């Protein structure tokens, strides 16, 4: 499918192009982004012990900070699109991969991902994380718990808000509390947070990548927040992505994109990251 859209990740012999984002950059126009682990990296995360509702939800874009799993692994929003650089992050079957800083993180509710594979007819299986669609997966950075796609009684929740959360029971005999639910399609994470988050809630000792002092993500690192870019331009994020794809993806004709979005080329260049400017 990607090949038909102009993204070729393999050579004539079928060998896949890839590079280790932590130590090198790409040599081909399209490569799979891999990452090696740095066992020395330390992470600090700040999460409210007593969650407080914010005045309005905080929208989450591509690779936005979302929360932490019960296993201590950070949870981020949707993985970067191939449209950003022409390269594609490689997620494992449980929905995670290694950051340019050398540490592993999630881009999906791993305890719920096999149900999505089955529903979509995808021949893949997450075998390293126990699957339970009713289980708690972690906590969002606003302090509210994140659960699988089903309520504690195995029934699909109703009345979910725009952030995929609601007030309800999380265990038999408990008190109704606000919590998030995973979606039934990928990406299956909340797209916004309803609570107040701590300032500087995520940092690492890594020399690059998210949470470091060097925010460019390293060679070929994670791309921009398309939600924030779209907000700056006053357009819909999905429309921005589709328009960029229609205009050539990473080599998009910015004049064509600007005309389609009814924005100025200067405004578009200002909103786009580094090389696109």
Burial class (CB within 10 angstroms; exposed 0-12, middle 13-18, buried 19+) of 44: exposed
Domain boundaries, the chain: 3-35+43-204, 226-272
pLDDT tens digits for the chain (277 residues)? 566 667 788 888 889 888 888 788 888 888 888 888 999 999 999 999 999 999 999 988 766 889 999 999 999 987 766 666 677 778 899 999 998 889 999 999 999 999 999 999 999 999 999 999 999 999 999 999 999 999 999 999 999 999 999 999 999 888 999 999 999 887 889 999 999 999 889 999 988 777 776 544 443 344 456 667 888 888 877 677 767 766 666 567 788 888 888 899 889 888 876 444 4
| CA–CA distance, 147 with 133 (Å, rounded to integer) | 8
């Amino acid at each position: 499918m990607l090949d038909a859209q102009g993204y070729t990740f393999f050579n004539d012999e079928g060998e896949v192009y890839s590079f280790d984002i932590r130590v090198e950059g790409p040599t081909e126009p399209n490569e799979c982004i891999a990452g090696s682990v740095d066992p020395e990296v330390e992470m600090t995360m700040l999460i409210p012990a007593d969650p407080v509702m914010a005045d309005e939800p905080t929208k989450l874009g591509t690779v936005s900070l979302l929360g932490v799993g019960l296993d201590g692994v950070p949870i981020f929003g949707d993985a970067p699109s191939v449209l950003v650089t022409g390269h594609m992050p490689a997620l494992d079957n449980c929905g995670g991969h290694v950051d340019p800083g050398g540490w592993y993180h999630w881009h999906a509710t791993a305890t719920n991902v096999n149900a999505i594979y089955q529903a979509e007819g995808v021949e893949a299986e997450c075998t390293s994380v126990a699957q339970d669609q009713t289980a708690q997966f972690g906590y969002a950075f606003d302090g509210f718990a994140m659960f699988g796609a089903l309520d504690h009684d195995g029934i699909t929740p109703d009345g979910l808000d725009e952030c995929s959360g609601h007030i309800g029971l999380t265990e038999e005999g408990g008190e109704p509390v606000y919590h998030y639910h995973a979606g039934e399609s990928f990406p299956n994470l909340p797209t916004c947070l309803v609570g107040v988050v701590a300032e500087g809630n995520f940092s690492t000792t890594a020399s690059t990548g998210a949470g470091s002092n060097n925010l460019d993500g390293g060679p070929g690192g994670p791309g921009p927040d398309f939600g924030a870019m779209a907000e700056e331009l006053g357009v819909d994020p999905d429309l921005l992505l589709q328009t960029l794809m229609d205009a050539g993806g990473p080599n998009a004709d910015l004049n064509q994109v600007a005309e389609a979005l009814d924005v100025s080329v200067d405004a578009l260049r200002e909103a786009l990251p580094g090389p696109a400017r």
